[in-house]
Every structure is written in structure tokens, then in C-alpha cells.
Amino acid sequence: MPSDVTKPPEAALNEPTPPEPKPAGGVEGAAAVTETAAVPPEAEREPTPEPAPRAGTPLDDSALDQLFRAAHTQYGFTGAAVSDDDLRAIFELMKWCPTSANTSPARFLFLRTQTAKDRLRPALSAGNLAKTMLAPVTVIVAYDPKFYDYLPRLFPHTDAKPWFTSNPALAEETAFRNGTLQGAYFMLAARALGFGLGPMSGFDNAKVDAEFLSDRGWKSNFLVNLGHGDPAAERPRGPRFWFDETCLLL
């Protein structure tokens, strides 16, 4: 479990709280997870029901194959659509996973129109251009450097905001690390719901930030092409390390 701050034991727990993350507002040519016009004010919203705790049991082999062993990076997609409800469903799974002090700094922009893709085009490397233009959705996985403004709501049992406002370097490190972690959770949630993914570097972060994020103060991390994967476009899987090459048992 990630932990970025020295704090008392009770503050070290990553405890998801029921309310939804604060709406990010609409994006011209792109859709964020929530849109201000579509979501009632926080005080008027029903809390998200928290699932009842249950004992963990291993997933069966077909589920493990879908998430890990048989899953490939996608370079092409079928013509099947990805709806806004699909994107919300992925987010609803992802949001339950832990972050340090429940900081939840990740932000997601879903580019699912040609207009939005054209705004992204100048920031893409040549090798990522064609596949991104053809993907049903391209996700900008970003993070909010001022995530700590939401800590009174997300981590209410202690005053955690000063941990970060008094230490800008720690705040940036926490935002980037946990935003990256949530990006990985997002990809696993998407795979769990049957979608294919093509995560990417190979773009100009500064251009993406200027075009899509600067008015919010967010920063881009990486991109993910998302849709229903085309098996014919898959490439052979690259080698992986053996356990003993990269792991130590101490």
C-alpha cells in the first residue's frame, strides 16, 4: 500500500470514503469523468454506497487470463463503440483502489470525438499518430498537483492538508506517484470489463497540458488508447523476466 507521508498509525490507513470525487467540469471536444452540468451539487448527491466487505477468494483462470496472461497491448481496434456509460463503469471500478491517504490525485480526460483527437494530434509522436486517430477513445491520464484541497473530504479523520501544503516537493511526488497508480488501476478495470488498451508515452506533455489541462492546473502523465481490441492487429508478446531475476525473498 503506497505511503508518502510520515504520520501517526491512524492516518496511515487508505480508507475510501463514500462520496464521489468532485466533478472536473466539461472539456471542449473531450469528456471528463463527470461534467458539472450533468452532476448535481455535492450537497444534493446521494453518497456512493460502499460494497459490503467480503473474504478474498482467488479469481478463476479465465479472469486471470483476461486481466494478465492473455492480455496484449492493443495496436488496433474493432469498430465497436465505447459509450460514455462504459467509461463511467470503468471509473466506478477504479475509484475503490487505494492511494496514499486516499489522495486520489488522478484525473481523466476521454477524447472520443474527431475534434478532440485533432486537438491532440500535434502533441503525438509519429509512431503513435495513426493508431491514436483510429482508437475509439484516447484517455489522457493526468493528475492534480493540488489534490490536497480535497483531503478534508477524502481523508476527514485527520488534518492531512498541511502535510503537503508545507512541502511542495512531497506534494508533487505524491500526486505523480499516486496518479500513476490510479492510471494502472484504470487499465485493470478496463480489462476487467472486456476492453483492450494501448498505453503510450511518445507525446509532448507540455503541448497536451497547454491544450487540455492548463486552465485546471492539472498535468498529463500518460495516454491510453481504449476500445475493443482487434486480435488481428496484436503483436507477439515480448519476453518477461523470471521471478529470480528481479525479486528477492528476505
Please state, in angstroms and as integers, the Cα–Cα distance from residue 109 to each residue in 13, 86, 113, 187, 241, following that order: 29, 14, 12, 14, 33
pLDDT at 117: 97
Question: 225 near 141, Cβ under 8 Å?
Answer: no
- Per-residue model confidence as pLDDT tens for the chain (250 residues): 444 444 444 444 444 444 444 444 333 444 444 343 344 455 456 667 777 777 789 999 999 999 999 999 999 999 899 999 999 999 999 999 999 999 999 999 999 999 999 999 999 999 999 999 999 999 999 999 999 999 999 999 999 999 999 999 999 999 999 999 999 999 999 999 999 999 999 999 999 999 999 999 999 999 999 999 999 888 998 999 999 999 999 9
pLDDT at 24: 41
Question: 14 near 99, Cβ under 8 Å?
Answer: yes
Tell me how far apart the alpha carbons of residues 158 and 7 are, in angstroms, rounded to a whole number: 10
Q: Which of 24, 25, 12, 30 is nearest to 223 (CA)?
A: 30
As a whole-number percent, the residues of the chain with pLDDT over 90 amount to 75
Q: Which of 226, 218, 198, 185 is nearest to 87 (CA)?
A: 226
Please state, in angstroms and as integers, the Cα–Cα distance from residue 146 to each residue in 34, 73, 173, 210, following that order: 18, 32, 12, 17
Tell me how far apart the alpha carbons of residues 98 and 158 are, in angstroms, rounded to a whole number: 17
pLDDT at 7: 44
DSSP reduced 3-state for 198:
strand
pLDDT at 41: 52
pLDDT at 50: 77
Domains of the chain: 22-34+69-229 (3.40.109.10)
pLDDT at 42: 58
Amino acid (1-letter code) at residue 166: S
Amino acid (1-letter code) at residue 15: E
Question: 210 near 182, Cβ under 8 Å?
Answer: no
pLDDT at 44: 58
Question: 22 near 38, Cβ under 8 Å?
Answer: no
